[in-house]
Structure 1
Amino acid sequence: MSNRIVVDPITRIEGHLRAEVEISDGTIKDAFLSSTMVRGLENIVKGRNPKDVWAFVQRTCGVCTASHAIASVRAVEDAVGIHVPPNAEMVRNMMLGALYLHDHVVHFYHLHAFDWVDVISGLNADPVKTSQLAQSISDWPKSSPGYFSDLQKRLKKFVESGQLGIFANGYWGHPAMKLPPEANLMATAHYLEALEWQKEIVKVHAIFGGKNPHPNFLVGGMACAINTDDASGLNAERLALVQKLLQQGKEFVDKVYVPDILAIAGFYKDWGAIGGFHNFMAFGDFPMAGYGNTDMSTYKFGSGVILNRDLSKVHELDLENLKTVEEYVNNSWYDYSGDPNGGKQPWSGETKINYSGPKPPYEFLDVDKKYSYIKTPRWKGLPMEVGPLSRMLVNYALGREDFKEVVDSALSKLQVPAEALFSTLGRTAARALESQLVANWNLEFYDTLINNIKNGDNRMAAMEKWDPKTWPKDGKGVGRLEAPRGGLSHWIVIKDGKTENYQQVVPSTWNASPRDPKGQRSPYEEVLIGTPVADPKLPLEIIRTIHSFDPCIACAVHLYDEKGQMIKEVNDISVCTV
């Protein structure tokens, strides 16, 4: 017998996401994912000075603010022909790299770990055995029996008080939970340690960008001046602190995050065959010879597309190929001029919210009509998964040695075949493995910056292009970026020196979008098909797979009551800060 269940909202993500799935004989047969939030920042920046747009669009999200800002300034720089100085490129790389470490660690421990870790089970752990387990996988210093015993006592006080706080409403005791008590206690300890660590790594943004979140950026470079002797500039003391923070980030990733992932994955090898997609796309990023350089070997992340899980061939993804991207709204609560079922390339895209159309339902989605506030992007008419797994697969298939080393090592330790990468487990592991790579690259970016300064190069902005009077009045640009969650692109059309059109195609648009006019499912909907669900009333398996993408459904501007009536419409960007 078929049974439709609703998970709304899917919690522990940025934004509001609803899942409706059809379950038959304990397995998901069909799935529909709906965003009940709407974003209209593209409309807000129309008519504005292109130099200012980054400050608005980085408010798309309160987490990956730097991602949107860098993509925006790259779009403008692409449109007007600006090449930023090497120092600015390295600072941007470090800011993006620090975001990767922060975002991936926070995602696993604070948004995803409790889909695999049973906190309450840890109350039954033996602290001595927990210490032995921790020391067997890492030489992280906080691993003594006394340390875990003290933590266990603190957890027991939470439970006995009846006030579980951050540990309330978990899937404790669920039959899909497989970790032994000692692994659960160890992971819970690292959850708390990650809360403290994540406050430190974001200081990299504050040093280079003046604050976090929403650090400062600049079309043409960065706004932080290098002056190793000036207290108000990027002096020696501040640069030394950046190095220390990046080294600490590498240590936490190497000694806590990656060992935990591999240890936990060992108990969930069956999830190496669940939740996989078939097409993967990576834009490439972390340029070492300037963004816009067409030689992708100079980028730490290479680019390409993998179709139908075929790792023997990587399809090229250059700008001409990227121009084939189109967004559809046939199943989205938006309107298009012209053919309502036709796709629009982002430079000619529209963000026309259908306020008079159907509102998000509160019982079941009418999936024969529009059912989401997310558009549906396609590359050459095909759905694509973007994110850490796509980056790892593309670069692994390209034969890049650093990627092959970490991937092959993980497969060997887990004793699973390469096919296990195409899964929920592979997606979760890929995020940790690329964190290990990025942690190493961050220190390389730092050394490159320091060597440039030692060689007398203090340039941080392309000042010869700073005056917009030197820009062409009209132009088009695209800023591509590998955000932690995947391929991000900002598209700008400039006319008479003003922003005429602006579109953002964000990672969760690729992954979470509704069906296209051909009926093709996007990743979120497709990967749930065939997933076993032990208890439809406690659908842990659904959120386990969806959380593996690290969803970000951000920046709502409407509120509805339980009957679907609008309560408040917000038009002032100044109140929309996350």
Structure 2
Amino acid sequence: MSERLVVDPITRIEGHLRIEARMAADRIAQAYSSGTSVRGIETILKGRDPRDAWAFAQRICGVCTLVHGIASVRAVEDALRIELPTNAQLIRNLMIGAQYVHDHIMHFYHLHALDWVDVVSALSADPKATSELAQSISGWPKSSPGYFADTQKRIKTFVESGQLGIFANGYWGHPAYKLPPEANLMAVAHYLEALAWQRDAARLHAIFGGKNPHPNFVVGGVPCAIDLDSDSAINAAKLAQVQGIIESMLTFVDQVYVPDTLAIAGFYKDWGTRGEGLGNFLCYGDLPAGGLMDPSGFLFPRGVILNRDLSTLHPVDLHDQSQIQEFIAHSWYDYDSGNDQGLHPYDGETNLEYDGRGGVKPPYRQLDIDQGYSWMKAPRWNGKAVEVGPLARVLMLYASGHAQTTELVEMTLGKLDLPVEALFSTLGRTAARTLETKILVDAMQGWYDALVANIKSGDTSTFNPRLWEPSSWPRQARGAGFMEAPRGALGHWIVIQDGRIANYQAVVPSTWNAGPRDTHEQPGAYEAALQDNHQLADIKQPIEILRTIHSFDPCIACAVHLTDPESGGELQIKIS
């Protein structure tokens, strides 16, 4: 009889995720992913003014705030056919790019690095040898022996006090850790530096959006005016601040993030054969050079890759109700029309499954994998399970012949002495996040230069008022707002009736990746990845599960959605 291994909660993520694995000796035979937290934003939006939707949609998550705001205003703009001024599109691109750079660096160092870096091992490192290692891979100025000796003292103080704080409860000393002490010390030093660096990176959102997190947006453009001579608008001084932030991001990416990724990956090349699973990848595309109506001008291409075939990108249509559907055969929901079929988000429902005792499901002790076992739905593209996220985007760029991506991928594979097949793995997923950060921070300079040139030409428009008044809207309208969030393909679908929201559904990256099995028992991306060549060194400390799950950068708060229609939208869960 197989043993069931439960990891609940998965930590260092946003939200609550439970993983159950059925073991065959020390290998994972089957895995099950369950979102165990709940939210109700979509139903809260019903009946409201579509122009206000973004302010509510941003609260879906405390991490992915900007991306939900962008997807929401794009959904309304798509429904009402509103085009953006050039400046507004460039400013949105800059804000999206800043979100990526900030998010990916924070994920690598603070959410994922400790799966590969043994903090306690850094205590035995030689600071001089650590300095030599750091200087051999980068020109980052903070790399002297004295600097690393000071960092080592800080770690020692944590350990000796018995208050490890952010480093508590790690699997320190686990046999799966492979870095030498000096590499561990270097990585921990950069972990601490990144904590301080992120403060400056977040300022770009505040300049253009008024605050961070939850920056402001507006349907039809951006809320900031441009006037080079005004203190209350985007002026020359604020543009200079943006340029400084971009330069700071570029320096950290080039001299810290990219070299660290390559250095750490070199000790874990065996992870280039683990953790793929599906072999199918989806990207909505994003970061337009012009308008959103022309995907050919997107930096990230739109398409689907099936069965690792990089020679063909299948087209994606967010309005085609046969392409994107959500299934609930293994979710804690009920569809009015039956639970064996999928629904397109335009027709999406979030009806609870009741337990027959006056409460809603769960409670549970172990997941009932033959029935519903997650608050997440199971999205599918043309009936197929797909993976979304940095790996999907880099594969799309690589498959489409994007020159910089091709150069970066071949450089990475060459330095690590790995075949192209290693891209389809846990290691490949982590490396892809780093490479796309480099691509984006370089693109940000181009968007900034274009914005400055456009302003100098005399164009200061940041808002399109067309169709702003509801009296000019069609009586019925519906739209799909999409974007490539750092974690992957994000879609918001809106149905407008008589100037109000009649239905609103969000299908987020972690729903695509972390969702349960569907009607045809196809596993989601997390489940399939864990079932792909995972052998555990210590079943009581399953760090291998954390490595693969964290490589997706889960955000479960975004992925689950729930409301109780019989209590006016207020959810009450009864635990027996």
Q: Normalising to structure 2: TM-score of the pair?
A: 0.95
Verify: 1:535 aligned to 2:534, yes or no: no
- How far is 1:572 from its partner? 7.7
Please give the per-residue CA displacement for 1:174-202, whole angstroms capped at 9, x wherever unaligned.
11100000000000000000000111111
Report the equivalent of 1:352: 351
* Number of corresponding residues: 563
Please give the per-residue CA displacement for 1:497-529, whole angstroms capped at 9, x wherever unaligned.
111001000000000000000010111001111
Report the equivalent of 2:224: 224
Q: Secondary structure at the match of 1:238?
A: helix
- How far is 1:18 from its partner? 0.1
Please give the per-residue CA displacement for 1:417-466, whole angstroms capped at 9, x wherever unaligned.
00000000000000000000000011111111111100000000002332
Report the equivalent of 2:549: 546
Q: Which runs of 5+ in 2 are unaligned?
A: 572-576
Q: Distance in 1 between matches of 2:160 and 2:21?
A: 36
Distance 1:144 1:239, change over 3 A: same
The one-letter code sitting in structure 1 at the alignment partner of 2:87 is: N
Verify: 1:201 aligned to 2:201, yes or no: yes
The one-letter code sitting in structure 1 at the alignment partner of 2:308 is: R
The one-letter code sitting in structure 2 at the alignment partner of 1:312 is: S
Distance 1:353 1:485, change over 3 A: same
Q: Is the 8 A contact 1:71 1:481 kept in 2?
A: yes
Verify: 1:503 aligned to 2:474, yes or no: no
- How far is 1:400 from its partner? 1.2
Report the equivalent of 2:46: 46
Report the equivalent of 1:441: 443
Report the equivalent of 1:365: 367
Please give the per-residue CA displacement for 1:523-545, whole angstroms capped at 9, x wherever unaligned.
10011113111111100000110
- How far is 1:470 from its partner? 2.1
Distance 1:175 1:13, change over 3 A: same
Q: Distance in 1 between matches of 2:454 and 2:282?
A: 33
Q: Distance in 2 between matches of 1:484 and 1:170?
A: 26
Distance 1:558 1:270, change over 3 A: closer
Report the equivalent of 1:563: none
Q: Is the 8 A contact 1:37 1:555 kept in 2?
A: no
Q: Distance in 2 between matches of 1:444 and 1:179?
A: 37
Please give the per-residue CA displacement for 1:260-312, whole angstroms capped at 9, x wherever unaligned.
00000000000000001310011111101112224x2x111111111011112
Distance 1:368 1:318, change over 3 A: closer
Report the equivalent of 1:409: 411
Q: Secondary structure at the match of 1:465?
A: coil
Report the equivalent of 1:465: 467
Q: Is the 8 A contact 1:38 1:555 kept in 2?
A: no
Report the equivalent of 2:287: 286
Measured on the aligned residues, the alpha-carbon RMSD in Å equals: 1.8
The one-letter code sitting in structure 2 at the alignment partner of 1:503 is: Q
- Amino-acid identity (%): 59
Q: Is the 8 A contact 2:58 2:214 kept in 1?
A: yes
Q: Distance in 1 between matches of 2:410 and 2:400?
A: 14
Report the equivalent of 1:239: 239
Q: Distance in 2 between matches of 1:208 and 1:555?
A: 24
The one-letter code sitting in structure 1 at the alignment partner of 2:47 is: G
Report the equivalent of 1:55: 55
Distance 1:321 1:361, change over 3 A: same
Between stretches 375-384 and 310-319, larger displacement belongs to 310-319
Report the equivalent of 2:574: none
Q: Distance in 2 between matches of 1:505 and 1:320?
A: 13
Report the equivalent of 1:342: 341
The 5 A counterparts of 1:369-408 are: 369-408=371-410
- How far is 1:558 from its partner? 11
Report the equivalent of 1:325: 324
Q: Distance in 2 between matches of 1:304 and 1:556?
A: 22
Q: Distance in 2 between matches of 1:322 and 1:124?
A: 58
Q: Distance in 1 between matches of 2:569 and 2:78?
A: 30
- How far is 1:557 from its partner? 10
Q: Distance in 2 between matches of 1:481 and 1:557?
A: 19
The one-letter code sitting in structure 2 at the alignment partner of 1:3 is: E
- How far is 1:354 from its partner? 2.8
Q: Distance in 2 between matches of 1:322 and 1:409?
A: 41
The one-letter code sitting in structure 1 at the alignment partner of 2:82 is: I
Verify: 1:21 aligned to 2:24, yes or no: no
Distance 1:399 1:77, change over 3 A: same
- How far is 1:364 from its partner? 1.2
Report the equivalent of 1:211: 211
- How far is 1:313 from its partner? 1.7
Q: Is the 8 A contact 2:350 2:561 kept in 1?
A: no
Q: Distance in 2 between matches of 1:116 and 1:361?
A: 34
Q: Normalising to structure 1: TM-score of the pair?
A: 0.95
